[in-house]
Structure 1
Amino acid sequence: MLLCLQPWEVSKKILRRSFKSKDDIYSLLLVEWGQYIDHDVTFTPQSTSTAALWSGVDCLSTCENVHPCFPIETQHHCLPFHRSTPACFIHLGSDIEQVLQRQQMNAITSFMDASLVYGHSSQLTSFLRDLPGLNGKLAVNEQFKDPKGRAYLPFVASLPSTCRQGLQQERVECFSAGDSRVNEGMPLTSLHTLWLREHNRIAEALKSINGHWSPEIIFQETRKIIGALHQIITMRDYVPKIIGPESFEHYIGPYHGYDPTTDPSASNVFATAAFRFGHATIPPILRRLNESFQPHERFPHLRLHDTFFSPWRIVKEGGVEPVLRGIIGTAAPVVSTNMLMAEELTERLIVPNVSQHMDLASLNLQRGRDHGLPGYNDWRVFCGLKRVKTLDHLKEVVGDDMVAEMIQTVYKHLDNMDVWLGGLVERLLPGSRTGALFSCLIGKQMKALRDGDSFWWEADGVFTQQQKVELSKVSLSRIICDNTDIREVPYDSFRFGKYPTNYVPCNHIPSMNVNAWRHERSRDSEQCGSPPKIKNGDFTLSSSSGKLAALYSCYHGFQLKGAAALVCEGNRWSDKPPQCKGNPH
């Protein structure tokens, strides 16, 4: 690959456009869900400034290509860029070539498990839970509620935060969620808010039908349901629209159960290139709509750069409803070869702690090179597609002669083409929002995430048949109805429809009956009574050994002292309850 060809030059000559054509099939929610679910699966940490201590360089102010800095040269200056944190091979079987090869890490679980709601570590999960409430719920914002008294996400622990502020006197800090990117944009923040509320709504319903359940059981059962809903909405309602029905059948196909030989890790090319296809479908304007899905009288549309890291706009400007109506009631832009990225992203991207505006296209290209991704043609071969060797073939694959000629001019040789750019410019497959290469890479990844997950919602023993039936009734439209003041939605909110023709009242949208999770007290439980409660910890119940057992665990920062499991024998518990010792701080 021609590393001397600067990403900024590719961005400027091929990728930048200020106008995006509209999709008359799908809503903008399809775009926003792509970003949201990506944050459940991949997060590549960047090298911190401490990594530069030995070289004495500051990546925010240098144009030197010195580790960990990999700046992007532009016409007049350079854009700062931190290399991704390297992962180290530590197992003895590694040969020297493998050890010396730089690899990147995924800092979160690649499983589709709603980790962006609950966090990827026990410490973060504990911070996000309402442990003092003893109700199995997630913590909510203590300072602000929406106009109808609904919850917002809690603020981050470290104050003051880096989020932007409006003109109001009262500060609105960055929100906290299971993923640190929650404040990047208002639609993303709104989706996070939906799932916080949905967890607490389901937890309350489970508590009402299973009064004997401990807070820990309520929390874990609710978390299991929320994880399943993320899987269902993504795999059933989102992925087929993105890669097309034919690619879905070819690369993913029907579910045949958990396969322990499948590696569910997120691949480098998926995280760094293929699933970033959505960046070319982001419009420059965020529309905010009223109850009739018309432009809001009080809260006007916003340029994209005015929505970055601005949770204050949600708290002070009408809650999540105007934003959610905007992304449901707006047609998604189509990926068009000659109109790839809005200038709001290439000229005005805001990154925390970086004083200058950034260029998302240049960052994506540089990230692919930082990770050493093979070029576009190599991935074509990987997917069983023909290598693009001539300009005529490229014109055929791209479907736009001018763009193909510009690529040939800029890259000199087609083997030099970056995989992210090459995947973006391909002609879309029928009924999809991606070309042949990205449909392949996304399809293969989604199949691996499904088949390699022993807790996938359809896997044996994860849910009862009745519970599966109830889970499969849920849609994102239902989640919106249950957790906002929006009273009319399309059956499938990913599909764009005109208001009011294609909208139905919320009571027409199927919902899940939580009675499928009703759990009668066992005979043993009635004889022994509820297990003893403990401070700074809780229990779950298990009967897998043939006897009822209470399995104790401590909250993050505490150590269990005593018996971790009590068994119901006769009419009493087998031992004294354990204690949780320690200091969480």
Structure 2
Amino acid sequence: MQQQQMNAITSFIDGSVVYGSGPKVNNLLRDLCGLNGKLTVNEHFKDPKGRPYLPFEESLQSVCLHGEENVACFRAGDSRVNEGLPLTSLHLLWLRQHNQIAETLKHLNGHWNAETIYEETRKIIGALHQIITMRDYVPKIIGKEFFDNYIGPYGGYDPTVDPSASNVFATAAFRFGHATISPVVRRLNASYQEHESFPSLKLHETFFSPWRIIKEGGIDPIVRGALGTQAAAPHSNKLLTDELTERLIVLSIPQDMDLASLNLQRGRDHGLPGYNDWRDFCGLERIRTLEDFKQVVSDASVAERILQLYKHPDNIDIWLGGLVETFSPGSRTGPMFSCLIAKQMKALRDGDRFWWEADGMFSQEQRDELLKVSLSKIICENTDITEVPPDAFIFGKYPSGYVSCNNLPAMNLEAWREEKSEDLKRCGSPGQIENGDYVLFKIAGKLVALYSCYHGFKLTGNALIACEGNQWNNKFPHCEGIF
């Protein structure tokens, strides 16, 4: 039986970077005391306009403490939130977006309890992640031809599809992005010029430094820098910047690391087959000779050097071989990585019974509203940035092609307005319980409330109570601590 390393987080495109992949992290990130369906925010700092920051980690040994700047690490659904300022900024955008949507839903549906607001908001955020990833991002990475041939239009949920993240995707193919990282993180002003107060930084100066966001102008200069700067274009003879191969910081290791070496060794640790085997898998010709290799690598001298080092084409590591391939037309990856990424994305979509387009997930009116959203609009709604490219994934030199945020379509949450049911009017809202909550649904025509406890508590009493006549038919349960 073939064995694979265990993936500790969800593979689905479900917003888990915002909410976490397990109940413990999920509870830590929620504002459970506020009874408003929101995520918790930083209690100590806000941006200059009063917008929230991510909450701090609670550990006193936070690795992000920086000299005299007593600012700890941020906490988010993914533990890598503090690795770099652009990544941290994206996490913060989604936190703000969740809370903004939750607040609107609470206003639209005053009879919704905190759990319903939270779950409906999370469902919307997950759908936006899926739309932005599959509609706006993936086609630009693998090219339209590979997208059409390997992924194609959505045909509904397929229970026979395995949606887990393949070892080769997680360990090699999707790490193509390491070659697109710039050695400089630019911070730009409202005119998309070098910021007067907060100059651009070398990449290594941004590792695990959330204090820079709090003390140095918030996320706006960083987000403008990401929008107004081209991604690095990897060359086969210079794949990764020295900032990643000479100055990388890895937690708990008291020395600078080399990301390229880590990637190569990770592939070997995971027992990945070599470059030629994956070309076979994708229906591409195996590399048998130096001349074969020169046909797929843009720089002949690089092909020569790699074969000198590896001695035989079958020995070439998958990550390296994939990176040096000449890009497919209209893509940022060569044909092998395009194939592997496309196959994985199709599996993530077709094998997800909660995919946003699946039957019963959203009404047609809600789907139409979801499709209006873009990453550019999310940036507009959660920062003071007023001009953006219509597509955040397409670089344009300011001001050419930039548009006012007011000209971008916005999602109308009126599509989520829900009238209070007659049953709920008769019986009233179920009782709120401490350290737990309920969701409402119908069974055999009856309105029922299903109670559950937060992580670390167990339910005592009836989990399910029904609206009968004009009252709930059982006593409300309660939650007891188990730790």
**TM-score, normalised via structure 1 length:** 0.82
Matches of 2:347 and 2:422 in 1, distance apart? 42
Matches of 1:297 and 1:166 in 2, distance apart? 24
Q: Residue 204 of structure 1 aligns to which amino acid in structure 2?
A: E
Matches of 2:480 and 2:431 in 1, distance apart? 17
> Are residues 1:197 and 2:101 paired?
no
* Paired position in structure 2 for 1:214: 113
- Alignment of structure 1 residues 124-523 onto 2, 5 Å: 124-168=25-69, 171-523=70-422
Matches of 1:327 and 1:206 in 2, distance apart? 31
* Paired position in structure 2 for 1:104: 5
Matches of 1:291 and 1:284 in 2, distance apart? 23
Gap change, CA 1:478 and 1:236, over 3 Å in 2: same
Gap change, CA 1:116 and 1:545, over 3 Å in 2: farther
Instruction: State the Cα deviation string for residues 339-377 of structure 1 (Å, max 9, x = none).
Output: 211111111111112111110000000000000100000
User: Identity of aligned pairs, percent?
Assistant: 68
Matches of 2:371 and 2:445 in 1, distance apart? 31
Matches of 1:546 and 1:495 in 2, distance apart? 50
Matches of 1:467 and 1:282 in 2, distance apart? 36
Q: Residue 279 of structure 1 aligns to which amino acid in structure 2?
A: H
Specify the SS of the correspondent of 1:438. Answer: helix
Of 346-355 and 458-467, the range deviating more from structure 2: 346-355
CA contact (8 A) 1:537 1:552 kept: yes
CA contact (8 A) 1:428 1:434 kept: yes
Specify the SS of the correspondent of 2:79. Answer: coil
Specify the SS of the correspondent of 1:549. Answer: strand
Specify the SS of the correspondent of 1:331. Answer: coil
CA contact (8 A) 1:277 1:434 kept: yes
Q: Residue 425 of structure 2 aligns to which amino acid in structure 1?
A: E
* Paired position in structure 2 for 1:60: none
> Are residues 1:552 and 2:446 paired?
no
Instruction: State the Cα deviation string for residues 521-552 of structure 1 (Å, max 9, x = none).
Output: 11111111111211111111102532111111
Matches of 1:320 and 1:522 in 2, distance apart? 42
Matches of 1:445 and 1:135 in 2, distance apart? 36
CA contact (8 A) 1:166 1:313 kept: no
Matches of 2:413 and 2:259 in 1, distance apart? 43
Per-residue deviation, 1:570: 1.3
Instruction: State the Cα deviation string for residues 363-408 of structure 1 (Å, max 9, x = none).
Output: 0000000001000000000111110101111001112111111111
5+ residue gaps, structure 2, are none
Taking only aligned residues, the RMSD between alpha carbons, in angstroms, comes to 1.0
Per-residue deviation, 1:298: 0.7
Gap change, CA 1:164 and 1:345, over 3 Å in 2: farther
Specify the SS of the correspondent of 1:552. Answer: strand
Matches of 1:428 and 1:164 in 2, distance apart? 41
Of 561-570 and 251-260, the range deviating more from structure 2: 561-570
Matches of 2:363 and 2:60 in 1, distance apart? 44
Q: Residue 28 of structure 2 aligns to which amino acid in structure 1?
A: F
Per-residue deviation, 1:102: 5.8
Matches of 1:488 and 1:574 in 2, distance apart? 56
> Are residues 1:526 and 2:425 paired?
yes
> Are residues 1:117 and 2:18 paired?
yes
Matches of 1:103 and 1:453 in 2, distance apart? 21
CA contact (8 A) 1:335 1:433 kept: no
Matches of 2:32 and 2:126 in 1, distance apart? 20
* Paired position in structure 2 for 1:27: none
Instruction: State the Cα deviation string for residues 97-142 of structure 1 (Å, max 9, x = none).
Output: x3xx763110001111111111111111111100111100000000
Matches of 2:456 and 2:249 in 1, distance apart? 36
Per-residue deviation, 1:164: 4.5
CA contact (8 A) 1:166 1:312 kept: no
Q: Residue 102 of structure 2 aligns to which amino acid in structure 1?
A: A
Gap change, CA 1:364 and 1:206, over 3 Å in 2: same
Specify the SS of the correspondent of 1:460. Answer: coil
Per-residue deviation, 1:166: 4.9
Per-residue deviation, 1:574: 1.3
Matches of 2:443 and 2:100 in 1, distance apart? 29
Matches of 1:532 and 1:288 in 2, distance apart? 50
Per-residue deviation, 1:554: 1.0
Matches of 2:466 and 2:437 in 1, distance apart? 15
Per-residue deviation, 1:167: 4.2
Per-residue deviation, 1:332: 1.2
Per-residue deviation, 1:501: 2.2
Instruction: State the Cα deviation string for residues 278-320 of structure 1 (Å, max 9, x = none).
Output: 0111110111000110000011111111000000111100000
> Are residues 1:540 and 2:442 paired?
no
CA contact (8 A) 1:190 1:324 kept: yes
* Paired position in structure 2 for 1:73: none
Per-residue deviation, 1:556: 1.2
